[in-house]
Amino acid sequence: MSAPLVVAVSGLHLGENAQPGPGIIRSLREAFGSRIRVVGLAYDAFDSALYAPGLLDDAYLVPYPSVGPEAYLARLLEIHAECRIDLVIPCLDVELPLLDRLAGELERAGIRCYLPTREALMARRKARLPELGHTASVAVPETRVVTDRGALSDAASALGYPLVIKALFYESEVARGPDEAESAFARLSAVWGLPLLAQRFITGEEYDVAAVGDGTGDVLGAVAMRKTIITRLGKAWGAMTVDDPAILAVARRVIQSLRWRGPCEVELLQDRSGMIHLIEVNPRFPAWIYLSAAAGNNLPERLVQLALGQRPARADVYRTGVFYVRHAIEAIGTVADLDEIYSHGRRSTAPPASGSEPPVVLPPPPAIPVDMLRI
């Protein structure tokens, strides 16, 4: 029996701003079963998937990408030395430029990635969305770059309220007047830095398309959904698969224009007149990606096949009317878990899938004063 495929996945926190890792892992487990081993790459000891039953076989702490390529590579190679990673699936936007720089060295070490080109990554940036919209023949809400408070005021005068204010990487807020715009500017610039983007607010239905591109412009699989429950942060807490040829055609044109290689999510908005607007292209799978597997078009499985040099057939068929509602529960850990991950940078005793083993009776927590914990 051949050794299982070892896949390292990041983006492990299912919080208010849910990350894609857990959905990708569920999809891969469904596709590959015992033929896969999943190694979690965690940025924080409180990443929720570390404590969720049945997701991870192994997990390691990694430094934030801001440490730079050398330190990040060194950590990945340390982990590789212990568990022989075959493939890394990055799940956070900020990891992409870093892994792009490291791809050659990772490949020499035997670690594969399936990444978009640097040009495609740049072309999908929020600040260049109007250009992309022009190339792909899709409308884009009017957008202004906001470098300071004066530019914010100018943008508000030009675009009116409500006004969407976005950080370059993550997060956005809808401001309904000058006070809210000022507050959004202060918060988003403090967290994510400048510039920000101000975008005209459009009323309509939000659709997202998750897809896998092969880098030539071909789309090997795509699943469209309509958001049914939207959080305060604009994230989909619930969604349903749909099959609108117009929505899927726009997403395909965007992916073809970018010659996108790897997973992505195209966010679209259909206004009341039926016009479709491009809102964003995310360079990774979305947090809702398990819906693709549930609807019968397992996109993470296709990504793995592509990364392994296989050529999966194009799959355009999936079931419509399949929906999810995110169900948040408490994943439980103890100070002993924190001790393990802080002391060793590794959590090798990830909780098993429920029902697969008898429950573990935990010893009482050690009497460690809280201020001694390295949190």
Partner 1 sequence: MPRDVTARLSPALAVSETGFVFDPRTGHSFTVNPTGLFALRALQAGRPLSEVVTQLAQEYPEMSSLEEDLQGFVRQLTALGLAVVGAEGNSP
Binding stretches for partner 1 (CB under 8 A): 205, 225-226, 228, 239-245, 320-321, 323
DSSP conformation letters of 203-232: -EEEEEEEEEEESSS-EEEEEEEEEEEE-T
CB of 240 to partner 1, least distance (A): 4
103 or 242, CB closer to partner 1? Answer: 242
Task: Give exposure, 27-41, as e/b (b: 16+ Cβ within 10 Å).
Answer: bbbebbeeebbbbbb
105 or 205, CB closer to partner 1? Answer: 205
188 or 295, CB closer to partner 1? Answer: 295
Tokens 């959080």 correspond to what residue? 231
Task: Tell me the pairing of strands 323-325 and 87-89.
Answer: unpaired
CB of 244 to partner 1, least distance (A): 4
Q: H/E element holding 144?
A: strand 143-146
CB of 30 to partner 1, least distance (A): 23
238 or 312, CB closer to partner 1? Answer: 238
Cα end-to-end span (Å), the chain = 42
- Tell me if 196 sits within 8 A of 188, measured CB to CB: yes
How many CB atoms neighbour CB 177 within 10 A? Answer: 11
CB of 220 to partner 1, least distance (A): 22
CB of 242 to partner 1, least distance (A): 4
151 or 240, CB closer to partner 1? Answer: 240
Amino acid code (one letter) for 326: R
Spatial neighbors of 159 by CB under 8 A, at least 6 apart, are: 142, 144, 198, 199, 200, 201
CB of 226 to partner 1, least distance (A): 4
238 or 345, CB closer to partner 1? Answer: 238
123 or 210, CB closer to partner 1? Answer: 210
Phi/psi for 36 (5° steps) reads -135, 145
Phi/psi for 38 (5° steps) reads -110, 125
β-pair partners for 324: 239
- Tell me if 262 sits within 8 A of 115, measured CB to CB: yes
Residue count of the chain, please give it.
375
3-state secondary structure of 134: helix
Amino acid code (one letter) for 188: L
CB of 210 to partner 1, least distance (A): 15
CB of 118 to partner 1, least distance (A): 36
226 or 347, CB closer to partner 1? Answer: 226
